[in-house]
Amino acid sequence: MELAVHELESGILGINLSGRMDITGTQQIDLKFSALTSTRRAQILVDMSNVTFIASIGIRTLIVNAKAQKLRGGSMVLYKPNDQVEEVLRATGIHSIIPIAHDIDAARGAFGAA
C-alpha cells in the first residue's frame, strides 16, 4: 500500500491511497496516515480511487482517524472509491460517519456538512 500527500486548494489536505487495504497494506500506511489525519485540525480528502480492496482493518483505520479529526473540529471525506470498495464501505455504514464524494464540488459540500 502506498500513501502520498499533497495540499489542495483552500487548505484541504489531500491523501492519495493506492493498493490493498488489507492487514499488510494497512500496516504499511497506518502510522503515517494517523499522524496526518488525527494530530491537527484539517479538512482531509482521502483519494481512494486507486484502492483495489478494503478489509475490516482498513475500515477501522479510516473510522478511528475520521473520529479523531472530528474531535479536533476538522473533517474527512472519502473521494472516488471504485465500485467494489464503495460497495463494501456502504455495506458497513461507513458513509454515515465519513462522507463519500465522487467529484470535487460534492467533496467541498461534504466538508461543510461533516
Q: What is the pTM of this model?
A: 0.93
Give tens-digit pLDDT for 31-73: 999 999 988 899 999 999 999 999 999 999 999 999 999 999 9
Question: What is the span of the domain harbouring residue 101?
Answer: 2-107
Residue at 114 is within a domain:
no
| Number of separate domains in the chain | 1
Query: Domain containing 72 — which CATH number?
Result: 3.30.750.24
Determine, yes or no, domain membership for 89.
yes
- The C-alpha atoms of residue 109 and residue 114 are separated, in whole angstroms, by 9
pLDDT band (50, 70, 90) for residue 113 = low
Residue 51 inside a domain? The answer is yes
What are the residues whose beta carbons fall under 8 Å from the beta carbon of 106, sequence distance 6 or more? none
- Does any domain span residue 25? yes
**72 in a structural domain:** yes
In a domain, 65, yes or no: yes
pLDDT digits (tens, 9 = 90+) for 91-101: 999 999 999 99
Name the strand (E) or helix (H) holding 104: helix 104-113
